[in-house]
Structure 1
């Protein structure tokens, strides 16, 4: 198949964004190893799957998004520390750092009156007004900030298996539900009805 320079969409976007997480969940729940060490096996699988997703994006679309780069580097670095120090806290901190970084980045863009989501997702929201972009950016900044706090509360006050389950049954559904909840606001601010899609702004952590 000939590589293109288009942005990932549809099944390819889901594969890139969710594929590594699905591998992490599956290995953590299904690996036939001691429960005390399976999180480390899952972390290693997560690292390999994330690198594979980045390579796929580079080959298939001739690009790797900045957020995918950031997420991939964090997985490799914090996953490596998790395995080297045999301390699962590092991989649990990864979502908090990711959410906090993205929230700060979006907030900085709003402060500079430059909604960064418009630069990243402009083609996904045709017709959206500048007011709509500002509101969407603020909404996602607050959502990521809340998700960072929630991740901290969960991993510091529950078992590893519960935290992994929360990422699968909590964080991912919450992200998609939040994206869908923004649609009425987007339609009020000019989003064209023939392409009304709920698109999350980056890899789901």
Structure 2
């Protein structure tokens, strides 16, 4: 259980922060950049959720919870020590990736195949989901970069990869099942 009864601690005033295992790193470390970008994605998704209703809002809420799980996963280094810990850290699970894939598979048949790239826009929800998609891709790139130097849960990287696809498909659903997508016209303004 998390208890936050004091918000500021002053422990980060010198430019360091604590990770999930208690170790301290600089606030610009690759690990902090990765989970910080996941946090940014979650905040961005919160804005998108303001424009969602029904099943879409429910799915977004689930993803927001998953993103907190992913942040907890990324902020706890040394995966090789998970089995030895008194309290095993939270790690993203394959079932969370599978759920995203099932939702994409359920949404995609409602859409006509694309004959052009689409521009971010259309409805407010679609535009916000496209922002989420790009922030998600950045979180994925930072997580992959981190994995070049430190152990990272590969399922977490897979989750981010699938999630950006989910945002793309959901953005099209939010545009009247793709009917209101804004199509790119190559060279239109030459």
TM value normalised by structure 2: 0.32
TM value normalised by structure 1: 0.30
Higher helix share: 1
* Higher Cα radius of gyration: 2
